[in-house]
Amino acid sequence: MTVDDWLAAFAAELRRRRVEPAGLVAEAAAHLRDSGRAPLQVFGPPTAYAVSLVDSLRGATTELRRPPSGEPRLAAVRIVKRYGRSTVLDGVDLSVHAGEVVAIIGANGSGKSTMLRICAGLLTPDSGHVRIRGTIGYCPQEGGTADFLTPDEHYVLIGAGRGEPREQARERGRTAAATLDWPRSSGSPVARHLSGGTRQKLNLVLAGLGDPDVLLLDEPYQGFDNGSYLDFWQQVWRWRDAGKAVVVVTHRLAELDRADAVLDLTPRSPR
Summarize as ranges the residues that interact with other proteins (CB under 8 A): 118, 120-125, 128-138, 140, 143-149, 153, 156-158, 160-163, 190, 206, 209-210
| Choice between 21 and 144, CB closer to other proteins | 144
Smallest separation (angstroms) from other proteins to the CB of 176:
15
Q: Which of 262, 246, 256 is nearest to 138 (CA)?
A: 246
User: In angstroms, rounded to a whole number, what is the distance separating the alpha carbons of residues 199 and 147?
Assistant: 10
Q: What own/partner pairs with CB < 8 Å and gap ≥ 24 does 84-91 have? A: 88/114, 89/114, 89/115, 89/118, 89/125, 89/265, 91/128
Smallest separation (angstroms) from other proteins to the CB of 143:
4
Task: Decide if 29 contacts 3 (C-beta within 8 A).
Answer: yes
| Choice between 89 and 230, CB closer to other proteins | 89
Smallest separation (angstroms) from other proteins to the CB of 71:
10
Smallest separation (angstroms) from other proteins to the CB of 153:
6
**CA distances for 109 relative to 88, 204, 267, angstroms:** 8, 23, 10
Smallest separation (angstroms) from other proteins to the CB of 98:
13
Smallest separation (angstroms) from other proteins to the CB of 202:
12
| Choice between 11 and 206, CB closer to other proteins | 206
Q: What is the largest CA-CA distance in the chain?
A: 70
Helix (H, G, I), strand (E, B) or coil at 114: helix
Task: Decide if 166 contacts 156 (C-beta within 8 A).
Answer: yes
Smallest separation (angstroms) from other proteins to the CB of 154:
9
- For the chain, helix (H) and strand (E) counts, in that order, are 9, 8
Q: Which of 247, 176, 198, 182 is nearest to 218 (CA)?
A: 247
| Choice between 23 and 165, CB closer to other proteins | 165
User: In angstroms, rounded to a whole number, what is the distance separating the alpha carbons of residues 168 and 145?
Assistant: 20
How far is CA 35 from its chain centroid? 40
Smallest separation (angstroms) from other proteins to the CB of 123:
7
| Choice between 54 and 169, CB closer to other proteins | 169
User: In angstroms, rounded to a whole number, what is the distance separating the alpha carbons of residues 172 and 166?
Assistant: 10
| Choice between 40 and 160, CB closer to other proteins | 160
| Choice between 42 and 80, CB closer to other proteins | 80
Phi-psi region of 122 (alpha: psi -120 to 50; beta: other; left: phi over 0): alpha
| Choice between 93 and 257, CB closer to other proteins | 93
